[in-house]
């Protein structure tokens, strides 16, 4: 599993007006896959100007949380808010967030190729 980061995509969320926000809030976010809980009741607030890192072992829900924020996965329960606007009900392109895959640190024991690199190599063949 690759580490991921949240990046603000300036001006993408049309109803928000400008690209700035006061806080991103996850309230009891849950995501299940075929009855298996991947993310259970995540509550988190990130205020404007804060820099956070999601750390944990492989399979603990880091990428699932970021995929939910970006709108790439629907929530099983809970909600995601940008200030006073609920965004988990919006399409991904309306949220103003995206995912960026980061490469593994040098010397990492994870020998599997990055998902983006695998996709690009399949596309070019």
DSSP structure string for 3-27: -EEEEE-TT--GGG-SS--SEEEEE
Strands (E), the chain: 4-8, 23-33, 36-47, 77-82, 85-86, 97-101
Instruction: For 106-117, write each residue's pLDDT tens digit.
Output: 545 555 444 444
Report d(CA 81, CA 6) in Å as an integer. Answer: 15
pLDDT for 97 equals 74
For the domain that residue 17 is a member of, what is the CATH number?
3.40.50.300
pLDDT for 105 equals 58
Split into its structural domains, the chain has a count of: 1
* Cα 62 versus chain centre, distance: 8
Residue with tokens 């009855």: 35
Instruction: For 37-62, write each residue's pLDDT tens digit.
Output: 999 999 999 999 898 888 999 989 99
pLDDT for 20 equals 77
- Token code pair at residue 40: 């259970």
Sign, CA dihedral 6-64-39-60, equals negative
**Structural domain boundaries, residue 102:** 4-124
């Amino acid at each position: 599993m690759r580490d991921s980061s949240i990046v603000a995509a300036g001006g993408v969320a049309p109803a928000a007006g400008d690209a700035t926000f006061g806080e991103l809030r996850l309230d009891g976010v849950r995501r299940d896959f075929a009855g298996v809980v991947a993310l259970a009741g995540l509550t988190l607030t990130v205020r404007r100007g804060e820099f956070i890192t999601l750390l944990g072992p492989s399979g603990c829900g880091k990428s699932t949380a970021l995929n939910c924020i970006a709108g790439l996965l629907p929530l099983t329960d809970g909600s995601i808010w940008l200030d006073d606007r609920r965004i988990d009900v919006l399409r991904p392109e309306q949220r103003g967030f995206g995912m960026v895959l980061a490469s593994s640190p040098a010397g990492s024991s994870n020998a599997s190729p990055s998902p983006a690199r695998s996709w690009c190599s399949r596309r070019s063949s």
